[in-house]
Amino acid sequence: MDVITPRVPIIVALDYANAADALAMARALAGSGCAVKVGKELFTAEGPAIVGRLSELGLPVFLDLKFHDIPNTVAGASRAAAALGAWMINVHASGGREMLVAAREAIATAAARPLLIAVTVLTSFDRGRLAEIGLDIEPAVQVERLARLTREAGLDGVVCSPREITVVKKLGRDFLAVTPGVRPPGSAQDDQQRIATPAAAVAAGADWLVIGRPITRAAAPAAAVADIAASLVAPTTSN
Ligand code: C5P
C-alpha cells in the first residue's frame, strides 16, 4: 500500500458529522496537494471506511483519534490505524513513556508507516483547569515536559499551538510541529484564541498547519489552499 504524501504543508480539518459532507469537501480539495484530518466525530459516525474513501481521492489522511489507554491497547489501536492507510496518526503524550513506545513499536513494521504525533496539553486547558486535575503548573511548562518525553520515546513530533512552536523545535529541527490555531490574514478568528498567520507559523518552524473553517467555508476551497500555500513562499526580492 502506498501512502500518499501531501505537496503542501496544509491539513484541512474535515469537521463534519457525516461522510456525504466530508466527501463533498474532499472532492473540492482533490488535486490541491493538501492532506485532510478525520476526527472523532466523523470517524465514530462513519467508521474506518471513511479513511479509505478519502485516500482514494488522493488525499493523505491525518486520523486524529488521540489514543490514550494502557500501552497494549494503544499499540493495537495504532496498528489498526496504520493498517487503514492513514498518513498521520496521534496519541496523548500524557499516556506516558511506555504507551508512547508501544505505539511506535506497533506501527514500525506497517506496510506504510504513518507519522506518529503526540498531543501535549489540549488548548482547552488553562492553568486553572490543569490545577483541577492536579497539575499546578503553567500549561507551557507541561507542554515542554511532554514534548521532551515524546521526543525521547522516538515519536515523530507533537501537536502544538503557534506560541509553542519555538519550544518544540528546540528539541530537534526534525521533530515535527503540527499546528492548529492558524488563520490567514483577514479571515474570521472563529473560536480560536491564540492564532498566527500561516506564514508566521511556518516562519516559527511549523511543519504542518491544521486549518479548518478558513478553507472549508471558502467559496473555492482548493483556491484557498493554493492561496495559503503561496503565502508560505518567501517573496523573492528583485533589484
Ligand atoms: O476551523 P479551524 O481552523 O478552527 O479548525 C481547527 C481544527 O484543529 C479543528 O479540527 C480543531 O478541533 C483542531 N484543533 C485545534 N486546536 C488544538 C487541537 C486541534 O483547533 N489545539
Ordered by start, the domain boundaries in the chain are: 10-231
Give the H/E segment covering residue 150: helix 139-152
Question: Alpha-carbon torsion 24, 29, 31, 37, what sign?
Answer: negative
- Nearest alpha-carbon partner for 26 in 41, 45, 3, 42: 42
| Residue 88, pLDDT score | 98
| Residue 47, pLDDT score | 97
CA of 109 to the centre of ligand 1 (A): 30
HSE of 72, CA atoms in CB hemisphere, 13 A: 0
Our answer on whether the CB atom of 216 is closer than 6 Å to any ligand 1 atom is no
Q: Which of 15, 63, 215 to mutate to test the pocket of ligand 1 (most atoms within 8 A of CB)?
A: 15
The catalytically annotated residue of 37, 40, 66, 169 is: 66
Q: Which of 34, 210, 213 to mutate to test the pocket of ligand 1 (most atoms within 8 A of CB)?
A: 210
Residue minimizing CA distance to atom 18 of ligand 1: 180
pLDDT in 10s for each residue of the chain, 239 residues: 566 789 999 999 999 999 999 999 999 999 999 999 999 999 999 999 999 999 999 999 999 999 999 999 999 999 999 999 999 999 999 999 999 999 999 999 999 999 999 999 998 888 999 999 999 999 999 999 999 999 999 999 999 999 899 999 999 999 999 999 999 998 988 887 778 999 999 999 999 999 999 999 999 999 999 999 999 976 554 44
d(CA 59, CA 5): 8
Q: How far is CA 86 from CA 70, 83, 157, 206, in A?
A: 22, 8, 16, 21
d(CA 208, CA 152): 21
d(CA 234, CA 239): 16
Ligand 1: nearest atom to the Cα of 161: 21
d(CA 230, CA 184): 11
CA of 233 to the centre of ligand 1 (A): 23
Q: Is 40 a catalytic residue?
A: no
Our answer on whether the CB atom of 227 is closer than 6 Å to any ligand 1 atom is no
CB 86 within 8 Å of CB 117? no
CA of 12 to the centre of ligand 1 (A): 10
Would the pTM of this model clear 0.85, i.e. be above it? yes
CA of 214 to the centre of ligand 1 (A): 11
Our answer on whether the CB atom of 123 is closer than 6 Å to any ligand 1 atom is yes
| Residue 238, pLDDT score | 44
Our answer on whether the CB atom of 11 is closer than 6 Å to any ligand 1 atom is no
Greatest CA separation for the chain = 60
| Residue 235, pLDDT score | 56
Ligand 1: nearest atom to the Cα of 190: 4
> How many other CB atoms sit within 10 Å of the CB of residue 62?
26
- Nearest alpha-carbon partner for 200 in 231, 224, 175, 168: 231
- Nearest alpha-carbon partner for 161 in 142, 134, 135: 142
C-alpha cell at 62: 491525518
> How many other CB atoms sit within 10 Å of the CB of residue 191?
6
| Residue 80, pLDDT score | 98
Class of domain 10-231: alpha beta
d(CA 82, CA 59): 15
CB 35 within 8 Å of CB 9? no
